[in-house]
Amino acid sequence: MCGRYTLAKPLKAIESHFGPLHTKLEYRPSYNIAPSQMSPVVIEHSGQRKLGTMKWGLVPPWAKDEKKKFINARSETAHEKSSFKNSLKSQRCLIPADGFLEWQGTEKQPCYIFLRDQALFAFAGLWSTWNSPEGKNLHTYTILTTEANQKLSPIHARMPVILPPEQYKTWLAPDSDFAAVRNFLTTFPSEEFDFHPVSKEVNSPKNNHPEILQNI
């Protein structure tokens, strides 16, 4: 699963990596993104790639209230689930990140996981719009997960689906071949990752500063 992640790179770096983008958001780096927070998401709309914010925790359109939310979706079964299958067909998104956190062992030691070159990357995500009884539109997203690779499996059995840049265009396009995008939902190679233990300060999303990610 994925219950926390980071996005601390400058906005210009995000725009360069995922662009060209139409950007409409107030951006601040975050070292401890938690469920229910508003965070940057890349979607394609009317043939244009857009960077905006959505709430982490997908609320299906049929939900009676916004308490019914999913921060993760299993990639192996998302096409079968009523909460995700329509989004998987036509409402896919990229979730910019530069690291994520998992908790290891009975002591729940938090570990910060990142690409070895500390580069930006993208989680494969799904998004949806929920209409409240008061007529409010809430845009939400979830992170797709898969089996952990060999390096990360001692920390957790699952990991987010990470897409290489050459797959971004096909993943975002609403009319892409469904079988093709499902084939993207694989485990990212072990050799690309590094990780280290960090302070248990990260357990509280109120703690959001660079020092919480330092190697202990």
Query: What residues are labeled active site?
Result: 2, 102
Distance CA 209, CA 183 (A): 37
* Residues contacting residue 25 through CB under 8 Å, at least 6 positions apart: 40, 51, 52, 53
- Segment (H or E) for 85: helix 85-90
* Residues contacting residue 210 through CB under 8 Å, at least 6 positions apart: 8, 31
Residue 192 CB neighbours (<10 A): 16
Residues 13-26 as b or e (16 or more Cβ within 10 Å = b)? ebbebbeebebeee
**Under DSSP, is residue 206 helix (H, G, I), strand (E, B) or coil?**
coil
User: Rounded to whole angstroms, what are the CA distances from 140 to 14, 43, 82, 168?
Assistant: 20, 12, 16, 20
Pairing of strands 193-197, 99-104: unpaired
Pairing of strands 38-45, 48-56: antiparallel
- Segment (H or E) for 87: helix 85-90
